[in-house]
Structure 1
């Protein structure tokens, strides 16, 4: 039996609710968690007005959040679309009522074809194609771990991305207002491409761990000082947890705690100014950051 999933066409954009990614041609933007949740609720409303109270309850369940946080999140979403409140083409604000999605919306069904059953004596007919499909799938999964990633800053002004740059990978930023693109850091191909923003918009955290090393490596680029801090800790149990090493300063230990559950592990690392970075792992690879 074939499995079905859906994407949504929002004017010229395509939104994948599973990965929280918006694409427009070659442009791909990964939405932060709350921004994606607000967009999903607007899509569910299907052009109808949804109140601020309802959006807050659904996008921030069991959490006390002010309307100001919702307004900022909607503003970030508008910036991604290149939209504005004064001349709304995507999201309309209805004073004292709420918001509604006014851009053309279409639900697109995507089918994954079921694999055919191989009958006895037909291995030549089906065996070779299936072998080819298996090889392609392995290559796809391998490359997916290091595909280009983009993520919007919490204030909606800068897009940070990691993508291939010649023989290496690089960290880029793009200013949405003026279109300026900067290359901030260059490094070897990481075993998983993971990137996130600090909540105050000043720092970008990204994975630079190599597949054939004993240590996890995480870089933190400070946009104010233009310096990189390096966080390293061992992949194997029993090795000493390491360190923070900003450029030009000695390394020092960082307080941390580790929680494990089945294939998932979380490290809580106390960073500068008592900020806590949550590093999520899946199958022993870094899969996400939460600042």
Structure 2
């Protein structure tokens, strides 16, 4: 973010980057983190057009989000500023290009008398943020098996997710454009929530391995046919595990080879003549798929 020893005059408003507050007279509005980042990026562009892609990359720092998140941030800024898309006074939409700040802009140095107070508040804010992040990280590691897992397709149109639906877990897809959600499969709680896409966005691969079983179970869903291929191999390679007899469709056995390095293991599985699925393990638990 910008140099926080300054504040910005934006039209009739003032932005204090230290506190992420927009001030107009006695009216003070605290901006949410991403909303504040979007505004500062527009300010630092100094009237130049910023593409949606650049705004998403800079404000969300590589996180997988859709343009809808950016549109909501822009809409929130306009609401606070009393601005409108049809008759913009602050943020102008440039069709098929992005956004730019059109309000008069002035950079003003903060008064020395208020800097110490702001800095103390900022230090406390960062300490609190660090503690929250630490707690969140611990919660993630202790509860990673009950969290949902979401992955955006390479074509950017659909999100695949594995999440709890009550007594079981399910594979879901969500259309980015219309928001429609479809449940494609249901299964008991897997020992790790892992899901990914094929490079052509036509297949979804997901983990259905149970902690109590002595074999790994992986499903591959073909979205063009809604058929599921079942991949299974022993957790203990010294013995062979027979395929369960209660599957709805015939099993599809696939050749694979194993590569081990330190605590990590990778299985290369030949899915078709052209495609190979790479299954990554960490401490003998599936951690990711690469197509």
> What TM-score bracket applies, with the shorter chain setting the length?
0.5 to 0.7
Where does residue 153 of structure 1 map in the other structure?
Answer: 153
CA contact (8 A) 1:172 1:181 kept: yes
Structure 2: tracts of 5 or more residues without a match: 1-31, 49-53, 73-84, 86-90, 102-124
Q: Which has the larger radius of gyration?
A: 2
Cα distance in 1, alignment partners of residues 289 and 231 from structure 2: 13
Residues 290 and 12 of structure 1: CA distance in aligned 2, closer, same or farther (over 3 Å): farther
Where does residue 193 of structure 1 map in the other structure?
Answer: 193
Cα deviation 1:130-166 (Å, max 9, x = unaligned): xxx9xxx6x8634213311111111111111111101
Where does residue 81 of structure 1 map in the other structure?
Answer: 69
Deviation of 1:13 (Å)? 9.4
Where does residue 180 of structure 2 map in the other structure?
Answer: 180
Where does residue 228 of structure 2 map in the other structure?
Answer: 228
Cα distance in 2, alignment partners of residues 13 and 181 from structure 1: 30
Structure 1: tracts of 5 or more residues without a match: 1-7, 15-42, 50-54, 60-73, 103-107, 116-132
Q: How many positions carry a matched residue from both structures?
A: 201
Cα distance in 1, alignment partners of residues 260 and 99 from structure 2: 41
Where does residue 23 of structure 2 map in the other structure?
Answer: none
CA contact (8 A) 2:215 2:241 kept: no
Q: How big is the alpha-carbon RMSD for the aligned residues of Structure 1 and Structure 2?
A: 4.5
Cα deviation 1:88-128 (Å, max 9, x = unaligned): x8x99999xxx9999xxxxx843239x9xxxxxxxxxxxxx
Cα distance in 2, alignment partners of residues 273 and 251 from structure 1: 18
Deviation of 1:255 (Å)? 2.2
Cα distance in 2, alignment partners of residues 185 and 231 from structure 1: 15
Between 1 and 2, higher relative CO (CA 8 Å, sep ≥ 6) is seen in 1
Where does residue 35 of structure 2 map in the other structure?
Answer: 11
Deviation of 1:9 (Å)? 3.4
Cα deviation 1:223-257 (Å, max 9, x = unaligned): 110111111111112234888x9x87643432211
Cα distance in 2, alignment partners of residues 272 and 262 from structure 1: 29
- Matched position secondary structure for 2:143: helix
1:112 equivalenced with 2:100 (yes/no):
no
Cα distance in 2, alignment partners of residues 225 and 282 from structure 1: 32
- Matched position secondary structure for 1:253: coil
Cα deviation 1:148-205 (Å, max 9, x = unaligned): 1111111111111111101001111111111111110000001100111111111111
Cα distance in 1, alignment partners of residues 188 and 251 from structure 2: 22
Which has the larger strand fraction?
Answer: 1
- Matched position secondary structure for 1:112: helix
Where does residue 258 of structure 1 map in the other structure?
Answer: 258
Q: Please, what TM-score do these two structures have when normalized by structure 2?
A: 0.55
Residues 179 and 228 of structure 1: CA distance in aligned 2, closer, same or farther (over 3 Å): same
Q: Please, what TM-score do these two structures have when normalized by structure 1?
A: 0.55
Aligned residue runs from structure 1 range 46-57, under 5 A: none
